[in-house]
Amino acid sequence: MSSPIQRQTTTARLQLNSQKTRQRSGFSLLEMMLALAILGTSLAVLADIAGLGVTAAREAQALVTARMICQNKLTETLLNVDGGLAPTPVSRNAVDSYDSDSLETFYFTLEINPGEISGLLSLRGTVEVMDPEEQVTIATYSIDRWIVDPDIGLIEMEQEELAAREEIANGGAASGGIE
Please tell me the pTM assigned to this model: 0.63
Choose among 94, 122, 130: nearest CA to 109.
94
Residue by residue, pLDDT tens for the chain (179 residues) are: 566 666 666 666 666 665 555 566 788 999 999 999 999 999 999 999 999 999 899 899 999 999 999 999 999 999 988 887 888 899 998 898 887 777 889 999 999 999 888 888 999 999 999 988 888 999 999 999 998 887 776 666 778 888 889 989 887 654 444 44
Q: What is the pLDDT of residue 177?
A: 45
**Burial degree of 118 (CB within 10 A; 0-12, 13-18, 19+):** exposed
Q: In what order do the strands lie in the sheet with 120-130?
A: 90-95, 105-114, 120-130, 137-148
Q: What is the pLDDT of residue 179?
A: 42
Q: Which residues pair with 130 in a beta bridge?
A: 105, 137
